[in-house]
Structure 1
């Protein structure tokens, strides 16, 4: 199932040390089987997506031999609701693909439920935001030159084959998107080189150079990309906390003596060190998790008309990461996407069941929590209005 692709299928193939020692540090190659990845996307499903969504550059784009294909070569100017658009011409798209162009579709996880479920599963594994892009090519050409990505990736081969050469870290380890040096070069050697086939999964860490080319066959793969928190992110978070410190808000002694400026700097450093002790890495990561966004999803008509769900209504918990419940006096609270929600303590067993199982019918929720179906339905009515659950 796509909603367990990474937390169960991949971990079973790679081993539990994927997270503790290999994630972001080592190239990983695993074969989870073509049958495990086939439900993610078929050519028919892709054709339906292209037919039913007005996708246009830059979200949908073509590349050939390291350069973008001019949008005028495969789109026509158009208009939708008074807004100028670029509409993809099917016959022009086909021709470009026959000539070796690579099709890239960004954010396909926001369009296709099976890929969205797999992306959510990866987010629960790595506890970072994930975006999935599609890459499709025919022939033996390449869309991009040798390059590195500013985020970690899992590559999932869906159809056909592709040749990969993973060079490894270049002359600047762990480069970032916002960095002071982008002139680093790839290593002369290769960590791994070979042909990737349907069902194979690669993990390429951030900053690792790689070269990808077609094999003469068709190739369709998904890139699951995510950016992990770094020391730079923690430092930025600490700086935001400095607004709470009165001394940090005072003006710098620009016109004072050198000794006054030195003393002021030392005091700032002391206050910053105190702040770092109070707000350590665990506090930063917990705060980051509490602000983790929910998927943009909707639950009509229940969220508007307040109708009572039936016993067989399916309830889906919307927080992507496991929600930590905290007892607060006579209430139980959880924080989702930066907002705190408080409920009567009596609701705790039902909230715990939803957080653990993620998807239950109203009747199953009531049974798991030892409550009456009417009681579970009443709680669900409240949860759906606050976008904490979806109903189907």
Structure 2
């Protein structure tokens, strides 16, 4: 594990967060060249480093302002089968518009004291400074990024057991501590449902405890197990789905389909042998011509990378309505 000491100063409220500040003093270009997609990285920081970014008061505000959304909120490893809706109550309404729910603080506290971990997916959508951080990291990585939050009060069970993610992760320990066990990948470049790597055996690649102020980077496919400590813990995971060769092939297919009828044809499932052989011969020829066209794959790869980062809505009412995400 490549380990470095993070920048000693805490983030200020006025400072605009970004990848460079997150991994300082390691230069951003060094991280992108030497670590992104290939090697883990641990940056140990001082307690309180992320206090101005996100902490327990911010989580309390998000929970008080948000309505229950099962697509965003989850409970892990509490009493099995307990849905997050069981922690909620109806929202008093002057006019009936659906049946919204809001979280009850006493029920949430009870569940966390029983060992549950509360997970909020896409928490940057609920918090302005996280939204700014995620947007900046997206521009640096050239990939869509989502921030998920994990909160527990200590003594919780492992959230997900040992597992691997099909996307890269930057873990920000914002408060408390979590113990990590990291194993190397057991299959090269594992991807979602297309991969079924075997669980690792033998000694871990790294074990250690992330404490308040630390950052851990893991490329996709690296196995890990996370165990809460004895006290309250709050950590954020920035997940990034980097453009892959599969994305390039999808773009190549669309490019070919626009100009070559053979790519749009149905497969000859019921045709005779001669027709079937002719079809696959024509398809091979079209694929060969496309991949051998000078510069085509590189141009399409550039298109994939430029299209990888989605625009996030920025409202400018009462003037222009919506616009693209902030520019750096």
TM-score normalised by length of structure 2: 0.83
Q: Which residue of 2 aligns with 1:201?
A: 215
Aligned to 2:163: 147
The counterpart of 2:179, out of the listed 134, 138, 163, is: 163
1:168-247 equivalence runs, <5 A: 168-170=184-186, 172-179=187-194, 181-182=195-196, 184-244=198-258, 245-247=260-262
Aligned counterparts of 1:15 and 1:238: Cα–Cα separation in 2: 31
Q: Could you tell me which residue of structure 1 aligns to residue 8 of structure 2?
A: none
The answer to whether the 8 Å contact 1:56/1:88 transfers is: no
Match of 2:41 among 28, 47, 52: 28
Quickly say closer, same or farther: Cα 1:141–1:290, change in 2 above 3 A.
closer
Tell me which moved more, 289-298 or 116-125. Answer: 289-298
Taking a change above 3 Å as real, the CA distance of residues 49 and 285 of structure 1, as seen in their structure-2 partners, is: same
Q: Which runs of 5+ in 2 are unaligned?
A: 1-10
Q: Comparing both chains, which one has the higher relative contact order based on Cα–Cα distances under 8 Å and sequence gaps of 6 or more?
A: 2
> Could you say if the C-alpha distance between residues 246 and 158 of structure 1 is closer, same or farther in structure 2, counting changes exceeding 3 Å?
same
How far the C-alpha of 1:112 sits from its partner, in A, is 0.6
1:122 alignment partner in structure 2: 137
Q: Is this contact kept in 2: 1:156–1:199, CA < 8 A?
A: yes
| Cα 1:269–1:319 shift into 2, 3 Å | farther
Shift of 1:73: 4.0
1:12 aligns with 2:29: no
Q: 52, 57, 74: which is aligned to 2:70? A: 57
CA distance in 2, matches of 1:122, 1:96: 33
Could you say which residue in structure 1 is the equivalent of 2:3? none
- Structure 1 contact 234–281 (Cα < 8 Å) conserved: no
Matched position secondary structure for 1:37: coil
Structure-1 residue corresponding to 2:58:
45
Q: Does 1:299 align with 2:313?
A: no
Question: Which structure has the greater CA radius of gyration?
Answer: 1
- Counterpart CA distance in 2 for 1:98 and 1:290 is 44
Deviations 1:276-303 (A, max 9, x none): 3363144233344146321122101121
Question: CA shift at 1:206, angstroms?
Answer: 1.2
The number of residues matched between the two structures is 309
214-223 vs 11-20, greater mean Cα deviation: 11-20
SS at match of 2:207: strand
2:100 is the counterpart of 1:112: no
> Please, which of 128, 134, 155 is the counterpart of residue 149 of structure 2?
134
**Superposed CA offset, 1:232-279 (max 9, x none):** 221122112222213433455556553443333122122123223363
- SS of the equivalent of 1:185 reads coil
* Residues 5, 36 of structure 1: 8 Å contact kept: no
Contact 1:105–1:135 (CA<8 Å) still a contact in 2? yes
36-45 vs 123-132, greater mean Cα deviation: 36-45
Structure 1: which 4+ aligned runs deviate by more than 6 Å? none
Structure 1 unaligned regions, length at least 5 = 305-315, 321-354, 359-392
Assess if the C-alpha contact under 8 Å between 2:168 and 2:241 holds in 1.
yes
Indicate if the aligned counterparts of 2:143 and 2:305 stay in contact, CA closer than 8 A: no
Q: Structure 1 CA distance, aligned partners of 2:312 and 2:28?
A: 29
Aligned mates of 1:3, 1:319 — CA distance in 2? 15
Equivalent position SS for 1:49: helix
Task: Provide closer, same or farther for how the CA distance between residues 251 and 41 of structure 1 changes in structure 2, counting only shifts above 3 A.
Answer: closer
| Cα root mean square deviation, aligned | 2.7
Give the secondary structure class of the aligned counterpart of 2:43. strand
- TM norm structure 1: 0.71
User: Aligned partners of 1:174 and 1:68: how far apart in 2?
Assistant: 33
What is the CA deviation profile of residues 289-345 of structure 1, one whole-angstrom value per residue up to 9, with x for unaligned ones?
1463211221011216xxxxxxxxxxx98346xxxxxxxxxxxxxxxxxxxxxxxxx
